[in-house]
Amino acid sequence: MSDAEPAVVLDGVTKKYGDFTAVSEVNLVVPRGSIYGFLGPNGAGKTTTIRMILDIVKPTQGRISVLGADSALKVRDRIGYLPEEKGLYKKMKSWAIIAYFARLKGLDAKTAKTRAFALLEKYGLKDFTNARCETLSKGMGQKVQVLASIAHEPEFVILDEPFSGLDPANQQVMESVVRDMRARGTTVIFSTHVMSHAERMCDRILLIAKAKKIFDGTIPEAKKLIPRRVRVGGQTVATLQRLPGVVGVTALSAAGEAPRWDLTLADGADPHELLRRCFRDGLELDSFELYEPTLHDVFLQLVGEGAKVASFR
Amino acid sequence: MRNAILVAGREYGENARTKGFWVNLLLFPVLLVVSVKLPEFLQEKAKPVRNYVLVDQSGEFEAAVAKGMQRLHGLKTAAALMKHAQRHADPEKVAAQKSVDWTQLPADQMGEFNLSGDLAEQMRQQAEQNPMLAAVLADPANLAPFEAMLRLQMKPDAPAFAPPRQDYQRVALPPGVDASLASAELARALKPYLSGDEMPGTDRGLFALVILPPDAGLKLKRPTDATAATQDSGHGADGVQFWSANLTDKELEEEIQDALNSEVRRREYRQRGVDHRTVEEVQRTQIQFAAFDPSKAEGEERVSLADTLRKWAPVGFVYLLFVAIFNTVVMLLNNTVEEKSNRIIEVLVSSATPGEIMMGKLMGIAGVGLTMLAAWVLSLIGVLLYFAGPSADWPGQLLDVIQTSGLLPLFIFYFVCGYLMYAGIFLAVGSLCNTVKEAQNFVGSAIVLLMVPLFTMVFIAQEPNGTLATVMSWIPIYTPFTMMNRAAADPPLFDLVGTGILMAVTALLMLWGSGKIFRMGILRTGQPPKFLELLRAIRTPDRLQ
């Protein structure tokens, strides 16, 4: 198996529960060593896709290969998994539960225990090493569970909603966990609906909504998908609308304030060309701002109304 | 397999650390000790000394009642003395003695005897039939020679015998109450004391008031004047009256009644010219009678305490089996539901196959169950060994029965098979429930089914090879309990082997089916599937996903 071989390949994967289609015809290649974000509204099919990758759930159609094997179960010792709903054995101690899951993944008892202690110390849980899980707060429990899923130092880790339920400080810790894994060359897939995490951390993203893949690729690629925006100060709607390449004008300022506008540009329109044109026509602008869309904008734009519908299903 | 062992280890570790497990473990020997010790304790300590007032207005029966009370105390002393002797008996010395039937011996001719058999009971019965013996024993001064005789068969370091206290204390009427008052007025005067007020000169209330009216000796019921008895206005107001607020302890009432009746009868004999000694001799004449068991070897057919225990010991084991199986499968159910409800199961499934998880859980909890059983059996044997005298009171006999009957290996066998069968059902159900509450609903109905063998166990012990027993034996889910129940009664080999095979096959089928349900159920969320859906699912495993 070469390094060039992808960590995960999904080929036309569909999952149906009776009449309900949870995932439809998804193709995906997750390169080795990449941090891959699975984005999508609630109920889009992220968790089902993750379960299919892990071979916990069998796809109705399509093929999945993980680390070169046709089932994740065959290479399960090289995979780490944090499920969406978090839970721990209430009566077990933090270190013991981490060591237990590491041993299930093939570590010997001694190494597993050493790793558990080291991880708890590294990520700020040293004082809770011997605490029973039922005494941990939700955030701490979640951190313990994350550590339990990576203690065996897997090549490939899947984290389903690792950030949900964590306070900002712990989200930072969680991000550092993922970055540490990236530094080791671990392939990471995580799902989230917090775009800022994805934007900061992901090499590539998969966007699904209503069971269908909408996009996969790098974040710059994703941002190119939506029309670019320019924010200007001064002038009137009528003037701005006449400019070439401008397909929409939205007011950013309230009545009585100095006017500010958000211009939506047509696909392929060059904002520099727009600025030159204003110059040439002698249109005075108070400000001109090239506005880079965030992943959040991409998400809302691509998922659109579908997101709202899906989230209330 | 490695993973299954890891899962098993965790399950075992977690459940063996729970308080319930240790309570179960420790409670059993404690209950055993209590069941051996409590009756003794209650006899000796818990029952307070009872005060009674006897007003004999006839002046004829006081001596008779006193004699009766003396006899009662003598009986108790006799039993206590024999128990004491037995507890400290020296087996070698006992073996050298021969048994003597005390019922046929005058009180002054008690020679050699043997401390075997349930002597305390024997002694009590014999003393009952030989009033002289009881009378002699009631006086502490007379105990010394008896104890000296018994000491010949006791260990040299045996402590001295402490005679039991008098259980009943006759007290005088309170000052100011005239003994010649009419019955109703006497009763009225003493009512406060009967209902708890302290009697003057004592530290407690009055247990009973016995009033013998002046003509008590004339108020007799005879078979010849049945009509007179019915005319007696129902409540016998004219006869002897026994007043007591305690309706459950009838000992004193019965003893006084017996004493009065014997006295009245003795007078009758005299009046009618019958020698009452002759009558007593006649009354002590017995036919030789013994019960025999045809299934036993020639020469050993006499039914002994051991045989009774042999018959009833399986009932105890059925109960233990029930508790052990039910406890463990409920653990299994709870753990599975816990893992499912907090989604640990997903992590497990991504680390081990459902088969490994299930096997691990089965093994781990079986280990918990077996530990519990081992602890119970060991503590049972330990407690019995501790209490068993060298002779034959019940702990020793029971120990002997356990050692010789082969009940123990059967017990383990039926535990393992029963456990696997029920574990299959409970695991499958656990995998389908999302919350402990859902699971409890199921347990509620399952327990009704599981209880059946508990209801039938007494009947089956009485008729171990009857229709009920046979039918129940062939219902696989009841086989472990029923066959355990019948184990001591030599059930037909066909039943023993046949039901064993049927049960083992059922257990395997259950495990196979529940394995399939488990595999699908553990990842399923939402409503538990309907029964038909389940059947379909067993045939086509992907249906539930």
DSSP one-letter string for A280-305: HHT---SEEEEEPPPHHHHHHHHHHH
Query: What is the tens place of the pLDDT at every residue in B386-400?
Result: 776 544 466 677 777
Determine the pLDDT at residue B121: 54
Query: Measured between alpha carbons, how far is B477 from A252 in angstroms, rounded to an integer?
Result: 75
CATH code at position A255: 3.30.70.120
**In one letter, which amino acid is B53?**
V
Domain C-terminal end among A220, A242, A274: A220
Q: Categorize the per-residue pLDDT at A64 as very low, low, confident or very high, splitting at 50, 70 and 90.
A: very high
- A241 and A133 in a common domain: no
CA end-to-end span of chain A, whole Å?
43
| Contact criterion met (CB below 8 Å) for B418 and B328 | no
Closest-CA residue of chain A to B342: A87
Query: What is the tens place of the pLDDT at every residue in A168-222?
Result: 888 888 889 999 999 999 999 999 878 888 888 889 999 888 888 888 888 888 8
Residue A313: pLDDT above 60? Answer: no
Q: For residues B301 and A179, which has the higher predicted lDDT (pLDDT)?
A: A179
For chains A and B, CB pairs below 8 A equal 62
- A170 and A50 in a common domain: yes
Query: What is the tens place of the pLDDT at every residue in B26-66?
Result: 888 888 788 777 776 766 666 678 889 999 888 888 888 88
- Contact B343/A83, CB-based, under 8 Å? yes
- A117 and A84 in a common domain: yes
- A176 and A35 in a common domain: yes
Phi and psi torsions of B302, nearest 5°? -60, 135
Number of domains in chain A: 2
- A201 and A79 in a common domain: yes
Query: Measured between alpha carbons, how far is A95 from A108 in angstroms, rounded to an integer?
Result: 14
Helix (H, G, I), strand (E, B) or coil at B50: strand
A3 domain residue, yes or no: no
Residue B113: pLDDT above 50? Answer: no
Nearest to B14 among A76, A83, A89 (CB): A89
C-alpha distance from B497 to closest chain A C-alpha (Å): 40
All residues of chain B having their beta carbon less than 8 Å from the beta carbon of residue A148 are 347
ipTM metric: 0.78
A298 domain residue, yes or no: no
The helix or strand, by DSSP H or E, that contains position A182, with its residue range, turns out to be: helix A168-184
A197 domain residue, yes or no: yes
Q: For residues B203 and B470, which has the higher predicted lDDT (pLDDT)?
A: B470
Determine the pLDDT at residue B231: 47
- A142 and A55 in a common domain: yes
The helix or strand, by DSSP H or E, that contains position A264, with its residue range, turns out to be: strand A260-265
Query: Measured between alpha carbons, how far is B23 from B2 in angstroms, rounded to an integer?
Result: 31
Residue B72: pLDDT above 50? Answer: yes
Determine the pLDDT at residue B427: 87
Residue B292: pLDDT above 80? Answer: no
Nearest to A87 among B3, B344, B545 (CB): B344
pTM as predicted: 0.69
Can you give the residue range of the structural domain that contains A150?
8-220
A311 domain residue, yes or no: no
CATH code at position A79: 3.40.50.300
A interface with B, Cβ–Cβ below 8 Å: 17, 51, 54, 56-58, 72-73, 76, 79, 81-92, 100-101, 103-105, 145, 148-149
Query: Measured between alpha carbons, how far is B81 from B83 in angstroms, rounded to an integer?
Result: 5
- A151 and A74 in a common domain: yes
Determine the pLDDT at residue A189: 93
Helix (H, G, I), strand (E, B) or coil at A38: strand
Tell me which range, A266-270, B242-246, B284-288, is most confidently predicted by mean pLDDT: B242-246
Query: Measured between alpha carbons, how far is A57 from A253 in angstroms, rounded to an integer?
Result: 51
Nearest to A103 among B6, B353, B545 (CB): B6
Residue B108: pLDDT above 60? Answer: no
A87 domain residue, yes or no: yes
Determine the pLDDT at residue A115: 92
| Contact criterion met (CB below 8 Å) for B302 and B291 | yes
A139 domain residue, yes or no: yes
The pLDDT of B7-19, averaged and rounded, is 86
| Pair of tokens at residue B209 | 């008031």
- A171 and A51 in a common domain: yes
- A256 and A126 in a common domain: no
The pLDDT of B252-273, averaged and rounded, is 87
Q: For residues A20 and B489, which has the higher predicted lDDT (pLDDT)?
A: A20
Whole-number mean pLDDT of chain B? Answer: 78
Q: For residues A116 and A263, which has the higher predicted lDDT (pLDDT)?
A: A116
A300 domain residue, yes or no: no
- A97 and A72 in a common domain: yes
A304 domain residue, yes or no: no
Strand B241-243, strand B208-212: pairing: antiparallel
Query: What is the tens place of the pLDDT at every residue in B506-515?
Result: 999 988 888 8
Count the neighbouring beta carbons within 10 Å of the beta carbon of residue B303: 13
Query: Measured between alpha carbons, how far is A49 from A23 in angstroms, rounded to an integer?
Result: 7
- A25 and A157 in a common domain: yes
Residue B337: pLDDT above 80? Answer: yes
Residue A305: pLDDT above 60? Answer: no
- A60 and A120 in a common domain: yes
Closest-CA residue of chain B to A98: B347
